[in-house]
Amino acid sequence: MRRNISSRFKNMVHLFGFGLLAVVALAHVAAAQNMPQSFANIVEDLMPAVVNISISTTVQNPPGIQMSPFEDFFEEFMERDEKEPPKKRRVSSLGSGFVIDPSGIVITNNHVVENAEEILVNFSNGEKFKAELLGRDPKTDLAVLKVITDKKLPFVKFGDNTKARVGDWVIAIGNPFGLGGSLSVGVISAINRDINSGPYDSYIQTDAAINKGNSGGPLFNMDGEVIGVNTAILSPNGGSIGIGFSMSSAVVEKVIDQLTTFGETRRGWLGVRIQDVTEDVAEALGIEKTDGALVT
């Protein structure tokens, strides 16, 4: 009898183990079905509307600041004039952007084009166009450009970022380290993230690789819609560690509409000032208590 019970128990354990393996296998199959096998079809439609932005500007170097490792060598033969005026040099920087209208309206970050004297927009097919700045908003780090061309340009559309959920697949396309047309894929790690960068923080956090040069590029959902503008990363070394932030499309669209229409943002404000009721204030106003607040 003991042998029969033991045998049955062993059979039950084997059956339970087999069933558990089957459940785990089915779970992996279900997960694999939800995971796209390739992003190629989506990217083919999106890539032409994503641009690389290069800007050039002139900066001044104060006297005595070395801009070349060979300056020490030349100083042995040339005496520096302490009253030498600041040198001027031409510098350039790179960023990303995307076209939202066939007429050539391009969205990017403010810090990409800030102080730019010349803006050049480069498309994935090799075409290059000059662009003019229509408006920028430092508080949300957004800027709107207009490509100078009569051609109808490929463009992408905004999506509703409020429908995005943590765990959704997202695609980032941009110009990291000057390597144009680069794609990275990840998921939404968090939504409505406040990173203390300004009064209008509403960022989508993603683990899709975002690096220097990706600034101003789009973050797409799986429908090929822009749900964010890649703006910042959290990194101890300047490279991607899987914590990137994209300004949500809900904020972007409102700012872009004003920048395109007015060349600036026009925000509402309340004409009051609120302050604590201190003992001095209470005495001046003839108030016995210091409760509440003073509205002026």
What is the rounded distance in angstroms from the CA atom of residue 266 to the CA atom of residue 252? 14
14 is catalytic: no
Structure token pair of residue 180: 């144009």
Out of 93, 141, 184, 249, pick the active-site residue: 141
**Pure H helices in 133-262:** 249-262
Residue 240 appears among annotated catalytic residues = no
Q: How many CB atoms lie within 10 A of CB 65?
A: 10
Contact indicator for 113, 136 with CB cutoff of 8 Å: yes
Q: Which of 111, 240, 246, 249 is catalytic?
A: 111
Beta-bridge partners for 295: 274
Structure tokens at 19: 């069933």
Single out the residue of 151, 225, 180 nearest to residue 51, CA to CA.
180
Torsions phi, psi for 72 (to 5 deg): -60, -40
Among 195, 202, 196, which residue's Cα sits nearest to residue 162? Answer: 202
CA proximity to 210, closest of 173, 181, 180, 236: 173
- Which residues have CB under 8 Å from 267's CB, separation 6+? none
Identified catalytic residue from 54, 184, 189, 215: 215
- Cα Rg, the chain, nearest whole Å: 28
215 labelled catalytic: yes
Please state the three-class secondary structure of 219-253 as a single string: EECCCCCEEEEEEEECCCCCCCCCCEEEEEHHHHH
φ, ψ at 199 (rounded to 5°): -75, -5
- Which residues have a catalytic role annotated? 111, 141, 215
